Chain A
Amino acid sequence: MHPLTWWIWAICLAVASARFKSLALSLVVVLLVASVVYSRNEKAPWSQTFGWSLKIAVWVIGIRMAIAILIGVPVPGNTVFTLPIIPMPNWIAGIRLGGPVTSERLILTAHEAIAMACIIVLLGAASSLTSPHQLLRVLPLVIYEFGVALVIATSVVPQLVISYGRIREAHFLRGATKISFRKIALPLMEESLARSLDLAAAMDSRGYGISAKRSRYRPTSFTMADKILIALSLTTFFFAPLTLIAAIAPHILAQSFRNTA
């Protein structure tokens, strides 16, 4: 599959599930996407980003729900339980801490939170399906400077995940019982900066961006499978049930195009 196809697919699914605001649809889409990611599981550094995006999504939902419960925006409906109201100074009138929590308010927030989480998970899926490097290679040369910035940014993120594990392990070995953010962040930042500079230097000395045109050794062309998947993804804007078909399509396309590809 063309790397751009994966990104278009993921973004379309994310937009569709955000627009239709259906809890069930979002959950099913995430499940289907997860099955696609795991069926194409390669042992590459970037394929771990999906797992991380799932974790971040859970946090997002948790924090969003906590805020919804604590900060009382009055939404009328059935009161599930009531928190004591904490008096606030006059100058922030309009914000209320505590108060009755209605089931309507919980459901509304859950929808919003899940839509947000869904977008994070889908983008995570796209970045674990295509390596950032593959994506860079198909970018048009017009945006060269932007491309360099992008490759540095994108290659840092997945490798950060690996370095994070390594540094955490080192602190455990040093006998740290509580590992603070600062202790990890400093070596991590230092290392990713050095890595990015190395990569930029390597690309520069290998002539990246020197020629106005760039030839292709093995052109990654849009195959029939790519076109079908993009078409399917785009139609999800109009019709919700198609989202499910688009989400599962990579499985079917991989099956039917195995011989031709």
Chain B
Amino acid sequence: MIRFTNVSLVYPNSINTVIEDLSFTINEGEMVLVMGPTGSGKSSLLRLINGLVPHHTGGILAGDISVDGISTQSVKPGGLAHLIGIVGQNPLNGFVTDIVEDELVFGMESLNLPQDVMRKRVEEVLDLMSLSPLRNRSIATLSGGEQQRVAIGSALVMHPKVLVLDEPTSALDPIAAEEVLSILQRLVHDLSLTVVIAEHKLERVIQFADRVIYIDGFGATHIGSPEEILLESTIAPPIVHLARALHLDEIGLTVREVRRMTSQFRGKSIAPVPTETHFIGESVISISSLSLNYGNHQGLKRVSTEFKQGEIVAVMGRNGAGKSSLLRTIAGIVKPSQGGVELLGKDPAILKGYSRRTSIGFIPQEPSDLLYGQSVQEECTQSDKENHIESGSTFKILNDLVPGISPRTHPRDLSEGQRLALALSVVLSASPQILILDEPTRGLDYEAKSSLIFALKDFTYVNNRTVILATHDVELVAELASRVIFIADGEIVADGSTSDVLLSSPAFAPQVAKVMAPVPWLTVKDVVRSIDANAP
């Protein structure tokens, strides 16, 4: 269905080849996963399939790419619209209309399909993607998962033979991600659709993939079955790390497989060692019966809780449950309708300037919102000056987080992970008492994630500070958080230690916990530690 023949790609004004001499064939009805570190060229590879690269972005392409026998060099991307559906990284940016139903028909109208055909296909797709109740809704009001379904639906109405998706679940909560992926799998099996998907969160997609294209970021590309690729690669889901740590003969990709392989470890002979505990200090934030109304909608309903020194608290919940609202009220950007927040004994809304920087640091969903300098150097000097610290301190924090960033780089040219690190070092340079992060792991690869985990733990435990983060990333929470607050529909439904909360809900349990249940292990480290402690 898709054939790459000796494809190489170079962007103008760049010395690195993004893709070098890549040849492969993807057959009809295959689900292929493209994986690799950020900035390795995954998105470029996906966009080569329908010719957006180089028709839309520029760049020099050598070799040939053909889809269903049509060479992408001979037609514009629009000429392949009936054949290839492409769903971008951020679906909201790609929506042309405002109403769900209009969005679904946009592509068909462009191809001048007759009205009766359109009507039939719209009904089909509304059913397939369970969008019927939303057909007249404004897209801007939908949740992230719903928007993603609309984006996939509007690609599917064209009856494409190939569907290309760039990180379709990165902004979704585990349940919404599951929905989207199971729909994709059904399409592959029922309609023999060819799906090419790029994703960082391997634990979500790997069990669905038939083959993997692994771009290592240095121009080399490996293609093979998921087992073959994951046996060698440094990028791997927790389940594979578990198999490696336990020295199993083979690796498994699904919880079911690995569970069968590891039955001997779940025996009664190994008592789980409790996780390391850290000193918990006094309360720094107290929230009392906090409510927040947006018009008729209640964002938060009588929420009361406390945050203490030395705690890393993960706020979890489905898209739109009120996680961001809670964080924003704590930071004092949103005024509560009822109740109040006390941050270090003060109302957070009155904090300004230096006193704000030293009490509370906030990393928004788009870390680049915080940055405005023309270079990393400029950004760092600025915060040295603002916080009256020795010049070069901020850059040192950055270099400890992610070594090797050139100070002359423009913040825009950094990768997602590097940009987050820069924003984080700017905020940390003021050494705030409390650090809040809103969805920090969107688009981060495993390496960037583990350096984030290290940095946050260091920040919290060395100086006895408090970190609060909202996230969908169960694996991150398992590795990082000491406490989890679970929000549903604006109310706190669970609040307790990480293992208690994560283990009580199957949807939000990390992979290792699913494999090792009923033994309460959350991460590979927990398992290894317990086994070592019990070793004779």
Contacts and interface: CB of A to CB of B under 8 A. Distances in A.
A201 interface: yes
B140 interface: yes
A39 interface: no
Interface stretch (B21-29, B267-275, B366-374, B499-507): B366-374
A202 B96 contact: yes
A104 interface: no
Interface stretch (A87-95, A111-119, A131-139, A242-250): A131-139
Contacts of B353: 175-177
B430 interface: yes
A200 B80 CA distance: 16
Contact of A217 (B108, B331, B357): B108
Contacts, number: 162
A175 B386 contact: yes
Contact of B369 (A134, A187, A214): A187
B110 A45 contact: no
Interface of A is mostly: helix
Nearest to B91: A202
A183 B411 CA distance: 13
B466 interface: no
Interface in B45-70: 47, 50, 52, 55-56
Given A42-B138, A182-B372, A206 B98 contact: no
Interface stretch (B71-79, B299-307, B479-487): B71-79
Interface stretch (B113-121, B198-206, B219-227): B113-121
A206 B93 CA distance: 14
B372 A183 contact: yes
Given A175-B352, A204-B56, A210-B79, A217 B94 contact: no
A183 B140 CA distance: 27
Nearest to A162: B140
Contacts of B106: 137, 206, 208
A133 B306 CA distance: 45
A142 interface: no
A217 B331 CA distance: 46
Contact of B78 (A171, A183, A205, A216): A205
B112 interface: yes
A172 B105 contact: no
Interface stretch (B12-20, B82-90, B181-189): B82-90
Contacts of B140: 43-45
Contacts of A171: 370
A83 to B, nearest CB: 39
Contact of A210 (B78, B86, B93): B78
Contact of A214 (B112, B138, B155, B364): B112
A195 B93 contact: yes
Given A43-B141, A45-B140, A175-B430, A205 B96 contact: no
A151 B98 CA distance: 13
B111 interface: yes
B138 A207 contact: no
Contacts of B354: 175
A186 B362 contact: no
Contacts of A170: 362, 364, 366, 369-370
Given A204-B77, A205-B52, A167 B369 contact: yes
Contacts of A187: 368-369, 371-372
B427 interface: yes
Contacts of B33: none
A28 interface: no
Interface residues of A, number: 51
Contacts of B94: 198-199, 201-202
A167 B333 CA distance: 12
A259 interface: no
A27 interface: no
Contact of A166 (B86, B154, B369): B369
Interface in A147-202: 151, 166-167, 169-177, 182-184, 186-187, 190-191, 194-195, 198-202
A213 interface: yes
A204 B138 contact: no
Contact of B110 (A43, A44, A209): A209
A255 interface: no
Given A214-B109, A214-B110, A208 B78 contact: yes
Interface of B: 47, 50, 52, 55-56, 76-82, 84, 86, 88, 90, 93-98, 101-102, 105-115, 118-119, 122, 138, 140-141, 154-155, 158, 295, 331, 333, 352-357, 362, 364, 366, 368-372, 386, 412, 426-427, 430
Interface of A: 42-45, 131, 133-134, 136-137, 151, 166-167, 169-177, 182-184, 186-187, 190-191, 194-195, 198-218
Given A171-B370, A174-B362, A215-B115, 12 more contacts: A133-B97, A133-B98, A170-B370, A174-B426, A175-B386, A184-B372, A190-B368, A198-B93, A201-B88, A204-B77, A206-B107, A211-B112
